[in-house]
Amino acid sequence: MKNLTFYSCLFLSLLIANPVQAEAASEIRIGSKKFTESVILSEVITQHLQNNHISATHKDQLGGTRLLWKALVQGELDIYPDYTGTIIYEILQGEEISSDADIKAALARHGVSITAPLGFNNTYALGVTPSTARKYSLEKISDLRQYPELRFGFTNEFMDREDGWPSLRNHYQLPQTAVRGLDHDLAYKGLEAGSIDLIDLYSTDAEIAYYQLSILEDDESYFPDYRAVILYRTELIDHVPEIQAYLTQFGSIISETEMIKMNSDVKLEGRSEAEVAQSFLNIKFNTLSKIEVATRLDRLIATTSEHLFLVCLSLGAAILVAIPLGIWGSRNSALGQVILSIVGIIQTIPSLALLVFMIPLLGIGGPPALVALFLYSLLPIVRNTLSGLTGLSIDVQESARALGLPASARLRLIELPLAARSILAGIKTSAVINVGTATLGALIGAGGYGQPILTGIRLDDTGLILEGAIPAAVLALLVQWSFDFAERTFLSPGLQMKQESTS
Q: Give contact residues for other proteins (rule: CB under 8 A).
A: 395-396, 398-406, 409, 413-414, 417-418, 420, 492-495, 497-498, 501
- To other proteins, the closest distance from the beta carbon of 323 in angstroms equals 17
- To other proteins, the closest distance from the beta carbon of 498 in angstroms equals 5
- To other proteins, the closest distance from the beta carbon of 328 in angstroms equals 21
State how far the Cα of 368 lies from the Cα of 374, in Å rounded to an integer: 10
Instruction: Identify which of residues 239 and 488 has a Cβ nearer to other proteins in the complex.
Output: 488
Pairing of strands 124-128, 198-202: antiparallel
- To other proteins, the closest distance from the beta carbon of 479 in angstroms equals 25
- To other proteins, the closest distance from the beta carbon of 422 in angstroms equals 13
State how far the Cα of 89 lies from the Cα of 161, in Å rounded to an integer: 7
State how far the Cα of 267 lies from the Cα of 207, in Å rounded to an integer: 8
- To other proteins, the closest distance from the beta carbon of 73 in angstroms equals 55
Instruction: Identify which of residues 5 and 390 has a Cβ nearer to other proteins in the complex.
Output: 390
3-class SS of residue 29? strand
Instruction: Identify which of residues 14 and 402 has a Cβ nearer to other proteins in the complex.
Output: 402
Instruction: Identify which of residues 145 and 401 has a Cβ nearer to other proteins in the complex.
Output: 401
- To other proteins, the closest distance from the beta carbon of 499 in angstroms equals 9
- To other proteins, the closest distance from the beta carbon of 24 in angstroms equals 51
For residue 53, count other CB atoms closer than 10 A to its CB: 8
- To other proteins, the closest distance from the beta carbon of 315 in angstroms equals 25
- To other proteins, the closest distance from the beta carbon of 320 in angstroms equals 23
3-class SS of residue 225? coil
Instruction: Identify which of residues 283 and 396 has a Cβ nearer to other proteins in the complex.
Output: 396
Instruction: Identify which of residues 182 and 392 has a Cβ nearer to other proteins in the complex.
Output: 392
Residues with Cβ within 8 Å of 384's Cβ and at least 6 positions away in sequence, in order, are 326, 422, 423, 425, 426, 427, 429
φ/ψ bin of 401: left (φ > 0), alpha (ψ from -120 to 50), beta (otherwise):
alpha
Radius of gyration of the chain from Cα atoms? 27
State how far the Cα of 447 lies from the Cα of 445, in Å rounded to an integer: 5
Answer yes or no: are the C-beta atoms of 366 and 446 closer than 8 Å.
yes
Query: Which amino acid appears at position 233 of this protein?
Result: R
- To other proteins, the closest distance from the beta carbon of 380 in angstroms equals 22
Answer yes or no: are the C-beta atoms of 91 and 161 closer than 8 Å.
no
Long-range interactions of 92-100: CB distance < 8 A, separation 24+: 93/162
For the CA atoms of 247, 248, 254, 256, what is the dihedral angle to 10 degrees?
Answer: 100
Instruction: Identify which of residues 242 and 398 has a Cβ nearer to other proteins in the complex.
Output: 398
308: burial class by Cβ within 10 Å (0-12, 13-18, 19+)? Answer: middle
Query: Which amino acid appears at position 101 of this protein?
Result: A
Instruction: Identify which of residues 403 and 474 has a Cβ nearer to other proteins in the complex.
Output: 403
Instruction: Identify which of residues 50 and 385 has a Cβ nearer to other proteins in the complex.
Output: 385
Instruction: Identify which of residues 310 and 400 has a Cβ nearer to other proteins in the complex.
Output: 400
**End-to-end distance of the chain based on CA atoms, in angstroms?**
35
Q: Tell me which residue of 2, 16, 1 sits closest to 374, measured CA to CA.
A: 16
Instruction: Identify which of residues 312 and 403 has a Cβ nearer to other proteins in the complex.
Output: 403
State how far the Cα of 123 lies from the Cα of 29, in Å rounded to an integer: 26
Q: Tell me which residue of 481, 362, 412 sits closest to 70, measured CA to CA.
A: 362
* CB-side neighbour CA atoms (13 Å) of 398: 3
Answer yes or no: are the C-beta atoms of 218 and 125 closer than 8 Å.
yes
